[in-house]
Amino acid sequence: EILLTQSPATLSVSAGERATLSCRASQSLSHSLAWYQQKPGQAPRLLIYDASTRATGVPVRFSGSGSGTEFTLTISSLQSEDFAVYFCQQYKIWPPNTFGQGTKLQIK
Amino acid sequence: QVQLVQSGPEVKKPGASVKISCKTSGYTFSNFYIHWVRQAPGRGLEWLGAITPKGATTTYAQTLQGRLTITTDTSTSTVYMDLSSLTSDDTAVYYCARESAPFDFWGQGTLVIVSS
């Protein structure tokens, strides 16, 4: 089973600033990594797939990078609606599909 | 537009079973896997299993083998998840999700509470 480790667990950033979230895999994923945003009481929303491709309708301030075992989600200028929990997911080798434990992005 | 609409919340006693539905629309049902994922209160996402609507082939998480059954009704484009021998550890929100490498559309979630 591929393990995903996200860091930090909680990130405090001011609106308008940049946020950088990390996801590390226990083995190489090539580019088979996705990022999701989840707000309280809502289902996860796909933001990024194939490590760096924005899903339909996702603002350009969200960008993904990385390959192999190290991945990053960057939000270039935080808006109020961006404060949420972010999960990474690998789909290179399944079962099982695995998720990181999440990073909570909160207002500083 | 693509929609996945799940059945309503459930309260079950330990040892019981629960069956949740996920009715899909807005796309060709037979072209996409459907997965089930759950989230315990305040916790992360746990993948449970998947089904190929076309061939009705299923894959389950090892931790749930023997307790989880996923089925489809192609006539109504609906996927079902049946979880048996419930314990308090199964209390969670259960989601269905369509796979398009990775999960592009999700149901709204179904809360299952297991309590005596």
Asked if A99's CB is within 8 angstroms of B47's CB, the reply is: yes
Please name the residue ranges forming H helices in chain B.
none
Query: Could you give the maximum distance between any two Cα atoms of chain A, in Å?
Result: 39
pLDDT tens by residue, A68-87: 999 999 999 999 999 999 99
Asked if B44's CB is within 8 angstroms of A87's CB, the reply is: yes
Burial, A95: exposed, middle or buried (Cβ in 10 Å; 0-12, 13-18, 19+)? middle
Cβ neighbours of B35 in A, within 8 Å:
97
pLDDT tens by residue, A25-42: 999 999 999 999 999 999
Chain A 32-91, CB below 8 Å of chain B: which residues?
A: 32, 34, 36, 43-46, 49-50, 55, 87, 89, 91
Residue among B44, B60, B109 minimizing CB distance to A99? B44
Return the residue of A nearest to B35 by Cα.
A97
Identity of the residue numbered B28 = T
Chain B interface includes A94 (CB < 8 A): yes
pLDDT band, residue B53 (cuts 50/70/90): confident
pLDDT of res. B55: 62
pLDDT exceeds cutoff 70 at B16: yes
